[in-house]
Amino acid sequence: MFVRRIDWIDHCRALAVMWMIIFHFTYDLRIFGLPSISTHAQWYWHGFPTLIVATFMFSMGLSLDFAKTHGKLGGARFWKRWLKIAVGAGLVSLGTWLTFPERWVYFGTLHSIAACSLLVWPFLNRPRLSLLVALIILSAELSGFTVPWFKLSHPSMDYIPPFPWVSYALLGVAFRNSLSKTPAFQNWPKIRFLSLLGRHSLKIYLLHQPTLIFIVWCLSKLNEVFDGG
């Protein structure tokens, strides 16, 4: 039971990882002037990133609530996990500042996950309260009310403030227990590839963009060679 629950949570996170790689690959193609998704495909450039971040946040809420329930999230473990995410966020800021100084990421997805982990902590194992607060935040967002968050003067390649995104993490907390008791999730199949993606999502997050940028850069050089020929 324990392993299967971990598997379906990891698979949820793996889905976000795969979507993220697909989106960033097309984004990098666009940066280097190679054929990519049309700039008019608003459903892709706006809807797809929203789905990806929401899935990451939902998965974070699931995993934190699961760990807290099973005694796997004591103070030291929580802060060790949080520190890894915070350091990863710092590396993203440093890397984008070195490579794209005019659009470097100062508060992106990892930064927001670190902040939302702290915000979600008091709601763990409190599904009804989590659901209520999540619905309040989402309703406020839909009505046009937003909680202010700091912004620097330059545009960021990735800007994910805690609000309203923490609401998706709270939804993960709200539904984790009920999903764990659902027969379909209790009998969730173990797919090793997805489990590995989910369990190593932070490493993949940090390494996938440099890898993709190198690949797309090579493709751009090949494109120049063939165009020149």
- Each residue's pLDDT expressed in tens, for the chain with a length of 229 residues: 333 457 889 999 999 999 999 999 999 999 888 988 887 788 899 999 999 999 999 999 999 999 888 777 777 888 999 999 999 999 999 999 999 999 999 999 999 999 999 999 999 999 999 999 999 999 999 999 988 899 999 999 999 999 999 999 999 999 998 887 888 777 788 888 998 999 999 999 999 999 999 999 999 988 887 776 5
Q: Mind giving me the DSSP string for 80-117?
A: HHHHHHHHHHHHHHHHHHHH-TTS--SB-HHHHHHHHH
Contact present, 185 and 8 (Cβ < 8 Å): yes
- Domain of 205, in residue numbers: 2-228
**From its phi and psi, is residue 125 left (phi > 0), alpha (psi between -120 and 50) or beta?**
left
Backbone angles phi, psi at 159, to 5 degrees: -130, 110
Q: What is the pLDDT of residue 158?
A: 94
pTM value? Answer: 0.91
Residue 100: which residues within 8 A CB-CB, separation 6 or more?
157
Q: What is the pLDDT of residue 3?
A: 38
Q: What is the pLDDT of residue 167?
A: 97
Q: What is the pLDDT of residue 4?
A: 44
| Token code pair at residue 92 | 């993203």
If DSSP codes are grouped into helix, strand and coil, which group holds residue 159? Answer: strand
Tally of structural domains, the chain: 1
CA 47, CA 64: separation in Å to the nearest integer? 26
Q: What is the pLDDT of residue 94?
A: 96
